[in-house]
A and B are shown apart, each in its own frame.
Chain A
């Protein structure tokens, strides 16, 4: 079983739609959780950290359910510029390295 699993997509949605991404992780010792965005042929960039209480940054909302070992990302009122690959990333307690999911490709269509 992969340490971090995501639906690879691709997701093709019209501009203005709401999109939801899901992610599960296998190691209950995981401590920190993130969503990264990666554009084609570019490095990943931090979109937001994910907290148990849930957190929101503009059109983006992230949720964490530790009991289910499940992380989600919701994008509201999607823009053309949201087209990218979204990576679910986990950091284990006491470890420095990040573990990446395979990413979910999103294309927003005009």
Chain B
């Protein structure tokens, strides 16, 4: 089946620094990818929809200047958390759609200290 590779799986960074997370579709092309955030014991919340070759669409309340999304090719989308703060610590998961199925990356656990 379709595979979405996400890395890093875990990252610890200092407050004020930026972190880049990559999401790749390995055996299919994804014109659209989705970025979610999940806080402990909460469900996945969609942050933004990443569109190849155009600007991402952000959900209400998500700062587009803080969470930079780049989708430069049909197999790669990146999420950069800029000037990270402890409240940004969370589990970030990407997803891509292959025909009718949605496949998720393995997630990135970000801890900002």
Q: Which residues of A does B touch, CB under 8 Å? A: 41-46, 87, 96-103
Interface of B is mostly: strand
18 interchain pairs (CB within 8 A)? A41-B91, A41-B107, A43-B105, A43-B106, A44-B44, A44-B93, A46-B101, A46-B102, A87-B44, A96-B32, A96-B97, A97-B34, A97-B46, A98-B46, A98-B102, A99-B46, A102-B42, A102-B43
Q: Which A residues are in CB contact (< 8 Å) with B107?
A: 41-43
How many positions in chain B have a CB within 8 Å of any CB in the partner chain? 19
Shortest beta-carbon contacts, A-B, top 7? A43-B104, A102-B43, A100-B43, A100-B44, A43-B107, A103-B43, A43-B106
Q: Which A residues are in CB contact (< 8 Å) with B45?
A: 100
Q: A46 to B103, alpha carbons, bound, how many Å?
A: 8
B95 at the interface (CB under 8 A from A): yes
Closest-CB distance, B63 to chain A (whole angstroms)? 19
Q: A2 to B59, alpha carbons, bound, how many Å?
A: 15
B49 at the interface (CB under 8 A from A): yes
Q: Name the residue on A nearest B4 (C-beta).
A: A43
Q: A100-B44, A101-B43, A102-B43 are in contact. Are A43 and B93 (CB under 8 A)?
A: yes
Q: Name the residue on A nearest B100 (C-beta).
A: A32
Q: Which A residues are in CB contact (< 8 Å) with B44?
A: 44, 87, 100
Q: A20 to B104, alpha carbons, bound, how many Å?
A: 25
Contact residues of B between 77 and 113, Cβ < 8 Å to A: 91, 93, 95, 97, 101-102, 104-107, 109
Q: A84 to B32, alpha carbons, bound, how many Å?
A: 28
